[in-house]
Chains A and B, each alone.
Chain A
Amino acid sequence: MKAATEELLKLVSDWKGSFCGAYNIREDGKSVGRLSTEHIKVEPKQDGTGLDIIVAPGTKGEQVAIPACVTVGDFNDLVYNDFYIGEGADVTIVAGCGLHNDTGEAARHNGIHRFFLKKGSHAKYIEKHVGVGKGTGRRSIDPVTEVFLDEDAMLEMDTSQLSGIDTTRRVTKGTCGKGAKLVIHEHLLTEKDQRATTEFEVSLDGEGSSVDLVSRSVAKDDSVQSYRSKIVGNARCTGHSECDAIITGHGKVSASPQLDANNEDAALIHEAAIGKIAGEQILKLRTFGLTEEEAEEKIIQGFLR
């Protein structure tokens, strides 16, 4: 494994020299380390396009890590990973992606992840994206996530992109069965001339299903962000979408929520708030002795946590 990969692993997946449980480390399009456990199998797809991660029914408290790193420029990484979470299982999935680019050529990672959660299963999915390196080549990460939740299944997604990615298009689609819950918390920071697009589309098909989409973002400098969400309520269900964005400098944010209620018992809500940091918030922290810059930093840190 390259030293650059190890550095990226520390940033995106709390790597401390090893992983606890099953894992696969992807470096520049190839696996440089893989381990399956008794209950979690990490297997390459037969066509070589990615991995199948199979969690046995009833597996509890285990973790699987599948970080992907790109350490060179002029590289376009594409991977298809499918997660099959067995009935009644409860696991954590760590899936960070890091790009280290010291060249003038573009580097890109495109991870297509599909989640199939069986009845009563629960998974927490943690995804961090980060870009580093001195090169001028663009760093892009364009994740596509598809979620299929069976009865009473629950997926919690905690995703963040906090630095170094020049362009990203983050697409998430989900389908929730009876009593299923999808929770997505996204944290996004763009600066300089970076661009970020987030698209959510969730279909609540089962009775008592629910989705909670919360996106918190900060657009600094000349960066531009776009947030699109669509929640479709096809049954008695609850859907909540929230886009909170702070803009500083010449940052721009556009938010477009869409709620489609196709059932009279569908309760769908969208909230959006975009604006600069309130002057009174900065003032309050200055009464603690912080400078204006320190106050702004603290507010942003808390907001994106």
Chain B
Amino acid sequence: MLKLEHIYWNTPDGTPILKDVDLAIGDGGLTAITGPNGGGKTTLAKIIAGIEHPMKGRIVFEGEDITDMDVTERAKRGISYAFQTPVRFKGLTVTDLLEMAAGRRLDEAARCELLSKVGLCAEDYEGREVNASLSGGEIKRVEIATILARKSRLMVFDEPEAGIDLWSFAGLIDAFEQMKAEGVGTQVIISHQERILQVADRIVVIEDGLVKEDGARDAILPHLLESSRCPRCPMPDPEVRARHAAKEARR
């Protein structure tokens, strides 16, 4: 479905972030991209969506070279992207965003289904403006609901767990699993969260701008968790694990 061939990307000051990333993502299923902060995961997600463009390399989506295509063209071809920090809009309502994402009018039942998947009650939220009155967690859930509304062939979620409470997070995991079970598109999720890694079919570890590990979940996850475990912390959080893993790898 998607091929990233020899992708390079530098920051405007010339710092290399992605250094020859080669990655192929097949049709269907859930691929989790993980790794330490600053390793290039979000940049890679933005490059897939067309928000950033590689300095070098080629991107092929369903047999078509999309390297030079912009965000709009890629969206029309079936790539959607959930921002890590969702955007706020004065005047646009939750329903407006869901309908723009879906590309059609949504009836009450459809809005309710989408919002309930991310732990929001349609009655309370569909008329709300997507502005500063929504908390960080609420707007994050709306962001993810817009991606669910698009039903794209390739859905890229950038740290969907950030800013979401545990109850909603459980609902979100269910939504990812349900989409996977129903064969609704291909999911690529950037995440540090062990629970997301546990529902992935495949795990890709990006570190220092390179694909460090890539394989089936059962092959990668135990090793990843073990290598990231700090002996002094019985239950370190995922970011601590990721930092620890990076330190171990450097050794």
Contact = CB atoms under 8 A, between A and B. Distances in A.
A284 interface: yes
A61 interface: no
Contacts of A284: 83, 86-87
Nearest to B146: A288
Given A283-B51, A302-B89, A288 B96 contact: no
Which of the listed residues B71, B76, B87 has the most CB atoms from chain A within 10 Å of its own CB? B71
Interface stretch (A138-146, A176-184, A249-257, A289-297): A289-297
Which of the listed residues A286, A288, A298, A302 has the most CB atoms from chain B within 10 Å of its own CB? A288
B81 A281 contact: no
Range, interface on chain B: 20 to 34
Interface residues of A, number: 22
B91 interface: yes
Interface string B198-241: 00000000000000000000000000000000000000000000
B72 interface: yes
B101 interface: yes
Interface in B76-103: 76, 80-81, 83, 86-87, 89-93, 96, 100-101, 103
A38 interface: no
A3 interface: no
A288 B91 contact: no
A281 B87 contact: yes
Given A298-B100, A302-B96, A287 B71 contact: yes
B150 interface: yes
A109 B241 CA distance: 70
B91 A304 contact: yes
Nearest to B92: A302
A47 interface: no
A244 B93 CA distance: 17
A217 to B, nearest CB: 12
A288 B100 contact: yes
A299 B75 CA distance: 18
B150 A288 contact: yes
Given A288-B150, A289-B72, A292-B72, A244 B81 contact: no
Contacts of A303: 89-92
Contacts of B51: 283, 287
Contacts of B100: 285, 288, 290, 298
B30 interface: no
A140 B65 CA distance: 54
Contact of A286 (B71, B86, B96): B71
Contact of A289 (B76, B86, B93): B76
A287 B91 contact: no
B92 A288 contact: no
B44 interface: no
Interface in A242-291: 244, 278, 280-281, 283-291
A291 to B, nearest CB: 5
B49 interface: yes
A216 interface: yes
A305 interface: yes
Contacts of A292: 72
Nearest to B75: A289
Contacts of A301: 91
Interface in A209-254: 216, 244
B240 to A, nearest CB: 30
A35 to B, nearest CB: 35
Which of the listed residues A278, A280, A286, A298 has the most CB atoms from chain B within 10 Å of its own CB? A286
A304 B92 CA distance: 10
A287 B75 contact: yes
A173 B100 CA distance: 39
Contact of B101 (A216, A244, A288, A304): A288
A232 B213 CA distance: 65
Interface of B: 49, 51, 70-72, 75-76, 80-81, 83, 86-87, 89-93, 96, 100-101, 103, 146, 150
26 contacts: A244-B90, A280-B83, A281-B87, A283-B51, A283-B71, A284-B86, A284-B87, A285-B100, A286-B71, A286-B75, A287-B49, A287-B71, A287-B80, A287-B81, A288-B75, A288-B100, A288-B103, A288-B146, A289-B75, A290-B72, A290-B100, A298-B92, A299-B89, A302-B92, A303-B91, A305-B91
